[in-house]
Structure formats: C-alpha cells, structure tokens
Structure 1
Amino acid sequence: MTGVVEKALTLWGLTGARYTLVTARENAVYKISSPSGTFALRLHRQDYRTDTELGSELHWMKAVRDGGLSVPSPIPSVSGTDMHVIDDIQVDVLQWLDGETLETSLFKPKTETRRSLMQTLGQEMARLHGVCDAWQPPADFIRCAWDIDGLIGEEPLWDRFWDNPTLTSQERVLFNAFREKARTDLTDQGSSLDYGLVHADLVPANVMVDGSNMHFIDFDDGGFGYRIFDLATALLKHIDAPDYPDLKQALLDGYISERIIDYRSLDLFMALRATTYVGWNITRTHENNGTERNARFITTALTLVNAYLEQKK
C-alpha cells in the first residue's frame, strides 16, 4: 500500500510528508504529518462504495461540519477534487482530529464520568440528526438505506444473519420468526419513527473525546435510516456493563435534551442492531478472534431477539 500512499501524497501536494499506519480494519487509515498540518489519509476497501457513494459521504461530512458539529473536514487535492482512485483504490484525505476514543475514555473508573460521556454522546447525536434534517442533499446524493429491507430484507446491507453457517436449525427458526415480527412491527409503526440520515456506526471506536469536545469519525456506513438505530448502535457495545442502565439513561437524557424522539421501540432496534453483526461476521470468521467474536455476536443477538419476541406475545 505504500506505493498508493506515495502517489496520494503527490496528488494532495504533500510529497515527502511522514506517514504512519493508524488502523487497517475496514479501511486503511494513515496519519500524515507535514509542515502544512496533520491529516488522515484513507485508503478505502475495494468494492464497498461506488465513487458516487463516497463522494456523497464527503459532501455530507462537509455539511455536518458546516452545521457546527466536530467531524473531519475533507481536504481537497491539488486539482480541487476530494477523492482520487489510485491503482483501483479510492483515496481521500481528511482533517486530523486529536483526542482519545470514547472506548478509552469510558475505561475511566468514575461512574459519573461514564454517565457524563454518554450524555454528551446523546446530545451530539441529536444535534447530528438535526443538522442532517436541515440540510438538502444534492440531486446526485447516494447512500445506503438502513430501512426494513436493509435490516431484514432478503439481501440486507450486512448479509443474511439468519444464514450464518454456525447457527443451529433452532436458532435459524428463531431469527426468521424475529424477521417476520420485526417487519410487521416496523410496518405498523411506519411514519411514527423518525427517519433520515444516520451515522449508523457510533460505536466507541468512532467517537473521539478531546477534553470537553466530542468528535464523530468514520461515516463509512452512514446513510438513511431510523434515528433510533443510532441510539441502539451506541448502546449495544455496553449492554453487558454493570452500569448499563445508567449509561442507557444518560444517553437518552442527553438526546432528548436536544431533540424529541419516541424511544419505545428501542428494544426492537437493539435486537435489530445485534442481528446485523451476526451477518457482518459471516465473511470474517477467519480473522483473528473471528470465531470467538462470532459466538459472542450470536449469543447477544439471541438474548435480545428472545426477549423481544417474549414481550410481544
């Protein structure tokens, strides 16, 4: 990948800048240090987003930044474009944002600190949704949809979770029963659910904390969806924490202090979010800890799906 990085540095007028690989999860991200500033160079995974979809993401991030939220600003290349394709790899450069991940900050021992962080996350999430509602996307704006079909349709965005090859026949039956019930409930609730642009991946690793400032990064999975899906995504990672009830309440309190939302369907969306990871991991069981992660995702999803179906009997 270093050849692609070197070519990208030239295109962005950063020839000779120092670069360090920061993460190589879904996308490869390099920290670029140069006399003109510090930046994040992203090499996108192939065949995940079209050029139009990626361009839409960058346009959206600009709008969110202009709306007053702290997200990375796209940095145009020397030619004025925000993205280039180099050796069949989509590349862009973003402003570097300092801070530690929320994942790190939440390890602080004080419960009050954890509550405060989750409350701030709720507030910033609500502000994000408000800014997105106020923005008019351009006519060529294309992003994925975390709608009924995107979550539980025949070809969901993150694969067919009910076909995870490690599931037992009984677990498959349960997941398909949940799909039917979820489709019915989502259809019945219809327009009562707040729907619009969502980040869709506000897990602790994608939230940066810098003193009193909170930044949102990685809009890679963002698109159209139910706003409560963002809340469920933020909560799911903490569901086994001893202080989960406090963290949950803090997130909701923060959100509703900025924006109205009906969160009576939160249990449904917690289950929906949990099942997406069961699908997502199907092609990743070969990775380090992939098998253990797969078992954990399935256990969490089964617990939440069972609880939801039981309460709806």
Structure 2
Amino acid sequence: MTDPVVQQALPLWGLQGADFSLLAQRENHVYAVRQGTTKYALRLHRPGYRTTPELVSELDWMMYLSRQGLHVPAPIPTHDGSYLAKLGTIHASLLTWLDGTPIGEGSEISEGSPTQIARMVGREMARLHDLTDNWGCPNAFVRPNWTADALLGENPLWGRFWEHPHLSPDQKNLLLKTRSRASRDLHALEADEGLIHADLLTENILLWNDGLGILDFDDCAIGYRSFELATFLLRYLERRDFPDLRNALLDGYAARRAISAEELDLMLLLRALTYVGWIIPRLNEPGGETRSKRMIARATGLANTYLEGRPS
C-alpha cells in the first residue's frame, strides 16, 4: 500500500491534489489528508484482515455514534454514497479528523490526574454502551466475537495461549488449569454482552475540551462490557496506583451502568491470557521477545492469584 494507492483513492472523495502524509502503519495504513484548512484521515485497510461486511458494520456504528454526539471520527461517503471504496484488493475509507490530545502512551497517563482521567474514561465507556444498546445492531451487522468461545474455547480469537512455545511445563499447566476453571466461572456469570470498542487504550482516547474522544474502531466486536474496562485497565496493573485507577474507572462506569468488580477481575485475567496468544506470531518482530516475557509474567501472575482465591 503506497502513495499511488492514496492518489488513486483521494479523487473518490473529490480530494485530488490534496496533501497527505503517513500517520500510522498497523492493521491499516492511516494518512493525514489536508485540503485547504480541512483535515481528514484516510485509511487503507489491510487486505484480508477484515471482510467487507465487517468494515461496513464498523463504519455504520461510527456514524451512528457521531450523530449521537460522541466525539468519534465520522465516515465520509464517496461520490457514489458509499462509506467504503474498493481499489483492487484494498478497501479505503475516509474519516473526519478528530481533534484532541492522547491521554497518554503505554502505561503512562500524561494528561491531567490519572484517577480523574480513569473516571472520565469509565463514564465515556458507559455512555458508549448506553447509546449502542439504544441503537441495536442492524440485521446485516457483522463483527468478530469476544465472548466465551473466543476467549477460552479450543480456538480462541487471538490464538491458543496455552501453546505459547516459551511457556515452561509448569506455566503451561497453570494456564490450562486456569482456562478450565475460568471457563466454568465465566459461563456461570450473567455478564452484560453487546457491541464494544475492544481497544480503548491510552493512544486511542483523546482529551478534547472538557471531554474525551475515541479513535480506532478497527477491533470493535461483540463482547462482554466488562472486557472493555479490562482492556483499558490491564496496562496499569504494575503501577502503584492501580487500585485507585481501578476504583475510579469502576466509579465512572457505575455512574451510568451497573458493573461488577468481581467480573472485572475475571476479565483482567482473560484479557491477559489473550495477549499471550496474540504475541505468538509476533515473536520474531523487533521487541517481540521482551513483550512476550512481560505478557507471560502478567498472565501467570494473575492466574496464580485467581486460582489461589478459589477452591478446586
């Protein structure tokens, strides 16, 4: 996906000759596009990562949320009225530019008071879930699933974490035992399910005026609402103020929607396990080994704590 593809895509939105520059290169290539004083975000979607119905569903949800007043990027239709354009094997979409400053990076919250930010994030998550429940998914809506089988089944969405090649025999046994027990506990819960963003990390949350904005809906899925909170919170597990951040996030969310602290603790464990599977195909990438060790240590630590708190 190179500059000629961008130059081929831009006229579909009447932006031929606009200036552009590469912003990010992960699941998508994302370009900042400027025409006059107006900025946009052009996404070239990685071939094979998402199906056409999945991409259309993502864009439909973003448009709905934008129309409801959430500070999220809104898709802009092409000349023929479609949110999604096809350029050979590549899909492209154009979004409104979202102003704001990321609340932090990695495990750091650099904007404002960390506990205040966590409380704001909890409120915004609850607002997102409320609006989504009021919308309901259209019949043709298609997104990945992050419920029980995708987390703990025979073929989890992000891979069989218990088969990570760097697990010791004891670590593998620990994760297998945890998987079995967590599966029973999860099925016993009446966990709130619905559409979630599923990637609300610091880099994807912007501080904007006196509120928050949300970016990067690429991983949105049907899942547990407490999994949404766990995804945000997991990065801060080793921080000294983790209990304060956890409580602030729960307080913010509970101001709008019911949430179980015990359920969140289980989801923190399950989220940590997913990353052990996620890193397997990325072990040979720069920094892959270091990240893998950290993810295994985090998951096994949570697994030990989880099993110690439950009788066999």
TM-score normalised to structure 2 length: 0.95
Q: Secondary structure at the match of 2:171?
A: helix
Which residue does 1:284 correspond to in 2? 282
- Mapped to 2, the partners of 1:133 and 1:300 lie a distance apart of 33
User: Out of 270, 273, 277, which is 1:272 matched to?
Assistant: 270
Which one-letter code corresponds to 2:28 in the other structure?
N
Per-residue CA shift, 1:36-78, capped at 9, x if unaligned? Answer: 7211111112211100011001011111222221111001112
Which residue does 2:142 correspond to in 1? 142
- Mapped to 2, the partners of 1:51 and 1:159 lie a distance apart of 23
Which residue does 1:37 correspond to in 2? 38
Contact 1:274–1:300, Cα closer than 8 Å, also in 2 = yes
Task: Supply the RMSD in Å over aligned alpha carbons.
Answer: 1.4
Superposed displacement of residue 173, structure 1 = 1.3
Superposed displacement of residue 218, structure 1 = 1.0
Which residue does 2:22 correspond to in 1? 21
Per-residue CA shift, 1:80-125, capped at 9, x if unaligned? Answer: 11111213112111111011212258225x6xx1111111100000
More displaced 10-residue stretch of structure 1: 295-304 or 163-172 = 163-172
Which residue does 2:241 correspond to in 1? 243
TM-score normalised to structure 1 length: 0.95
Runs of 4+ in structure 1 over 2 Å off: none
Contact 1:275–1:301, Cα closer than 8 Å, also in 2 = yes
- Mapped to 2, the partners of 1:296 and 1:27 lie a distance apart of 26
- Mapped to 2, the partners of 1:86 and 1:222 lie a distance apart of 24
Identity %: 43
Which residue does 2:73 correspond to in 1? 72
Q: Secondary structure at the match of 1:62?
A: helix
Which one-letter code corresponds to 1:115 in the other structure?
T
Which residue does 2:104 correspond to in 1? 103
Which one-letter code corresponds to 2:110 in the other structure?
F
Q: Secondary structure at the match of 1:237?
A: helix
- Mapped to 2, the partners of 1:129 and 1:173 lie a distance apart of 36
- Mapped to 2, the partners of 1:56 and 1:15 lie a distance apart of 27
**Map 1:136-215 → 2, pairs under 5 A:** 136-189=136-189, 192-215=190-213
Which residue does 1:300 correspond to in 2? 298
- Mapped to 2, the partners of 1:287 and 1:205 lie a distance apart of 21
- Mapped to 2, the partners of 1:182 and 1:46 lie a distance apart of 35
Superposed displacement of residue 307, structure 1 = 0.8
Contact 1:4–1:87, Cα closer than 8 Å, also in 2 = no
Q: Secondary structure at the match of 1:28?
A: strand
Contact 2:27–2:49, Cα closer than 8 Å, also in 1 = no
Which residue does 2:57 correspond to in 1? 56
Contact 2:102–2:207, Cα closer than 8 Å, also in 1 = yes
More displaced 10-residue stretch of structure 1: 96-105 or 297-306 = 96-105
Superposed displacement of residue 251, structure 1 = 0.7
Unpaired runs of at least 5, structure 2: none
Q: Secondary structure at the match of 2:206?
A: strand
